[in-house]
Amino acid sequence: MNHPVNVVIVGFGNLGQALLPLLRAAFPACAVTAVEQHSDEERAAIANAWGVRLIVRRVEASNYVDVLGPLLRDGGFLLNLATAVETTALIQLAQQHGAFYLDTCIEPWTYSLGNADSTTNHALREQMLALAGRRHETRTALVAHGANPGFVSVLVKCALVAMVERFDVHAWQQRVPVDRDEWAKLAADLDVRVIQISERDTQRTETSEIGRAFLNTWSVDGFIAECLQDAEVGWGTHETLLPPGARRYRDVDGDKRHAPAIRLATNGIDTKVRTWTPHHGAFDAHVLTHNESISIADYLTLKDANDKVRYRPTVYYAYRPIDAALAWLPSLPGGLTSSDHGLDDRNRAHVLKDELVTGIDELGVLVMSGRGESLWLGSALSVERARSLAPLNNATSLQVVSSIVGGMQWMIDHPWAGIVESDALDHAVTFERVRAFWEPIERVWTRWRPGGTELLFGDFISGARHTDADVARTATFNFYSSLA
């Protein structure tokens, strides 16, 4: 069980290709098959160079059993790295064949954007949780586990442990939480009110124009889907007012009191907040709907004996992409200054990799406490270092695929865990397995606040109440060298 005999990858785009160097290093003897809907010489050449069997076929609801079923093996892996290939369907197929399953995002067969209810992250997660409740002690399926969602949940746990010593919380000095309830109790004792998954990507090319309109550093299709969906936010118990037009979700019993998230009235393009990273200080970022916004808030929910929610932090993803992506964002339908720029022309969509010459993808968690200090813990990986560690990668892709391999190793250690999210992983072991690919890992304490001292969501909205005081005051800086 320590070395899978075969790995099946659905989707051989940027991430599917970037995974190969790490996959070959971690599991050198495994056979790899990739199933991809698009055919071109570059994909074929990469598959041939890395010993991958490439099958050109679109995976969809009508054929996934016939296409993927014969490829799966007991103890092997099914990795879903495609957009719009349904998570719950592939989980069940993998488990029927005794195979492990992993994806980086909970996917439907078809996305319905705008005001659609069926493909919000909350709806997709509820569908997954309903399946998980019926499939205990089955072959492990790890859902929504890339960089984020995924490894950021591990970073949140590491940050909470580090905050114990900083705030001298005596009850937790000699022990680390052992289950979900204890992690929620620790976060409450630390008075953690806001967790921002904060990311700023400054990777760039030598020139600002390379002849294609829709550019980014991971997936154009995935980015567009996130931009056009309504923003979703894990909603904390310290919040006093819902944002204008926002709606509370209902839980599976139809109760709004327990659902961990809200849905904003604006999409990711039009929802901007202030966030902070060590290298860039305060800046504006887009609130993109992401599974970790809901799963982390849910995982850190503390209830009383009567099942009433006592504590929950506000959690959301604040992302500023590369400048080349910011340039075309306003042209998306429903965007800031929407116009028809030929979005359906796939020849104008391109993931930047070899063209990148410098820059970093600064990605981490900003854990903000009512005690006055906040901790940013994350990566400042440069494109130059990413290339030195693994070919076929930029900084963004390496953060994702290293997390995938770390998740695969965790599943091998826990082969019958059923369907789980990243929040359930052993944080210390997983961190050590992945950290080399995220270095430099930085831990920075800061007293930065965007506005009021209560850390309310409205204070973070871009342009709300920001003054010259919206500047980081960094108390200390040191590299994160130990989990002790």
Q: Which CATH number fits the domain that encloses residue 37? A: 3.40.50.720
Q: Sign of torsion, CA 98 103 106 107?
A: negative
| 77 phi and psi angles, rounded to 5 deg | -125, 140
Task: Based on the fold, state whether residues 122 and 71 are members of the same structural domain.
Answer: yes
pLDDT in tens, the chain (484 residues): 456 679 999 999 999 999 999 999 999 999 999 999 999 999 999 999 999 999 999 999 999 999 999 999 999 999 999 999 999 999 999 999 999 999 999 999 998 765 678 899 999 999 999 999 998 889 999 999 999 999 999 999 999 999 999 999 999 988 999 999 999 999 999 999 999 999 999 999 988 655 567 899 999 988 998 999 999 999 999 999 999 999 999 755 556 567 899 999 999 999 999 999 999 999 999 999 999 999 999 999 999 998 899 999 999 999 999 999 998 888 887 554 333 334 455 457 889 999 999 999 999 999 999 999 999 999 999 999 999 999 999 999 999 999 999 999 999 999 999 999 999 999 999 999 999 999 999 999 999 999 878 999 999 998 654 443 444 433 333 333 333 2
Query: What pLDDT does residue 157 have?
Result: 98
CATH number at 340 reads 3.30.360.30
For residue 220, being part of any structural domain is answered with yes
Measure the CA–CA gap between 288 and 319, rounded to whole angstroms. Answer: 7
Residue 31 lies in a domain: yes
Q: Would residue 76 count as lying in a domain?
A: yes
Q: What is the pLDDT of residue 144?
A: 98
User: What pLDDT is stored for residue 339 in this prediction?
Assistant: 36
Give the residue from 115, 137, 119 showing the smallest Cα distance to 128. 119
pLDDT for position 5:
79
On whether both 66 and 109 belong to a single domain, the answer is yes
Neighbours of 275 (CB within 10 A): 29
Is 405 domain-assigned?
A: no
- Which burial class, exposed, middle or buried, applies to 462 when counting CB atoms under 10 A from its CB (0-12, 13-18, 19+)? middle
Q: In terms of Cα–Cα distance, which of 269, 265, 262, 266 is closest to 224?
A: 269
Whether residues 274 and 237 fall in one domain: yes
**Distance of alpha carbon 459 from alpha carbon 104, whole angstroms:** 31
The verdict on residue 417 lying in a domain is: no
Q: Are residues 167 and 137 in the same domain?
A: no
Are both 159 and 274 inside the same structural domain?
yes
Longest dimension (CA), the chain: 62
| Residue 244 CB-half CA count within 13 A | 2
Whether residue 439 is found in the same domain as residue 297: yes
Q: Judge contact between 24 and 47, C-beta under 8 A.
A: no
Q: Tell me the residue range of the domain where 128 lies.
A: 6-143
Residues 122 and 239 in one domain: no
CB 409 within 8 A of CB 434: no
Residue position matching structure tokens 């967790």: 195
Which of 333, 228, 221, 343 is closest to 288 using CA atoms?
228
180 and 65 within one domain: no
- Single out the residue in 143, 176, 201 at which a domain terminates: 143
What angle is formed at CA 169 by the lines to CA 164 and CA 175, rounded to 5 degrees?
Answer: 65
Please identify, among 143, 169, 187, the residue that sits at the C-terminal boundary of a domain: 143
139 in the same domain as 202? no
Q: How far is CA 204 from CA 317, 328, 347, in A?
A: 22, 15, 20
The number of folded domains in the chain is 2
- Residue 336's nearest CA partner among 281, 284, 290, 291 is 284
Closest CA to 18 of 354, 320, 355: 354
Are 156 and 108 in the same domain? no
Verify that 92 and 201 share a domain, yes or no. no
Helices (H), 258-394: 291-299, 323-328, 383-389
Cα Rg of the chain, angstroms:
21
DSSP designation for 114: B
Is 63 found in the same domain as 32?
yes
Domain end marker among 143, 174, 190:
143
Structure tokens that stand for 7 in this block: 């790995």
